[in-house]
């Protein structure tokens, strides 16, 4: 039922415009693993205070106001618009565990960001309520156990990470779906970190807040979790001697650019 509901919602907003994605993918050039991270100059290194935009705005182009709650506008349109406009976005590859420790969950979340360093604070947004009957597996585990591990995804396991987006029934572990390796050696939490991840963060739930839909008052549609980082894990070849910089050439981390 949940899978059918999700499929119908995605169809209504045309989230995936490619009926045969494998055919579309086959028409694209293959991934080039030899492409590496590099530093360049800014677009206008000689820019001076007060100079304005590097390229003047086209006076023939006007801006269009968009009311997110227009009567004829589905809420899904806001989702599609925002994920195509607010890019790139980092991804939290979240490892959680049920309160009794018997169930584990692994899932990617692109509503994610670092918001502070003292203490280390992160936010993750969930498109669901806290109510156990409707909560996403990761949110349910995070709220009940109040801890997690945030793993940063690298190119080397991006397909495996993406596979955990599957709408599996509660109790079915995405670790098995992905084939990734859980490591239970964390020092402040009981959840597993992803061995393949170059960088991982043990975290404790600091606070959580639900938000009601503006289009459907009284219906909770979003939950925001604030997580405090309590321990960092960095692969030895990716971190410098002072343990304060991760080398992007080694981590080869991924972002969400546009998945419409």
Mean pLDDT of the chain: 89
Q: Is 179 left (phi over 0), alpha (psi -120 to 50) or beta?
A: left
Cβ atoms < 10 Å from Cβ of 216: 10
Q: What's the distance, Cα to Cα, between the start and end of the chain in Å? A: 24
Look at residue 259 and tell me whether its pLDDT is greater than 50. no
Three-state SS for 156?
Answer: helix
How do residues 115-124 score in pLDDT, each as one tens digit?
A: 999 999 999 9
- Domains of the chain, by residue range, sit at 71-256
**pTM beyond 0.75, yes or no:** yes
Q: How confident is the model at residue 252 (pLDDT cuts 50, 70, 90)?
A: confident
Tell me the C-alpha to C-alpha distance, in Å, between residue 34 and each of 30, 150, 155, 156, 212: 12, 27, 12, 13, 46
Architecture (CATH level 2) of domain 71-256:
Roll (2.30)
Taking residues 148-173, report their average pLDDT.
Answer: 91
**Do 209 and 129 touch, CB atoms closer than 8 A?**
no
The residue-averaged pLDDT of 6-15 equals 59
């Amino acid at each position: 039922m949940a899978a059918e509901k999700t499929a119908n919602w995605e169809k209504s907003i045309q989230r995936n415009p490619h009926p045969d994605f494998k055919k579309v993918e086959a028409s694209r050039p293959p991934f080039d693993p030899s492409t590496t991270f590099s530093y360049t100059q800014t677009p206008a290194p000689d820019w001076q205070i007060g100079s304005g935009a590097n390229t003047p705005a086209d006076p023939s182009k006007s801006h269009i106001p968009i009311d997110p709650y227009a009567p004829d506008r589905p809420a899904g349109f806001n989702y599609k618009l925002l994920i195509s406009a607010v890019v790139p976005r980092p991804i939290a590859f979240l490892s959680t565990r049920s309160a009794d420790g018997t169930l584990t969950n692994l899932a990617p979340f692109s509503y994610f960001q670092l918001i502070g360093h003292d203490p280390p604070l992160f936010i993750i947004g969930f498109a669901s309520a806290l109510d156990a009957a409707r909560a996403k597996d990761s949110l349910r585990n995070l709220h009940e156990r109040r801890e997690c591990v945030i793993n940063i995804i690298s190119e080397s396991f991006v397909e495996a990470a993406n596979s955990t987006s599957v709408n599996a029934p509660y109790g079915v572990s995405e670790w098995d779906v992905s084939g990734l390796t859980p490591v239970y050696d964390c020092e402040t939490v009981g959840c597993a970190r992803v061995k393949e991840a170059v960088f991982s963060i043990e975290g404790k739930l600091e606070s959580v807040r639900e938000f009601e839909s503006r289009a459907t008052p009284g219906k909770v549609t979003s939950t925001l979790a604030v997580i405090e980082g309590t321990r960092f894990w960095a692969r030895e070849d990716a971190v410098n001697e002072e343990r304060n910089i991760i080398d992007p050439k080694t981590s080869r981390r991924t972002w969400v650019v546009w998945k419409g």
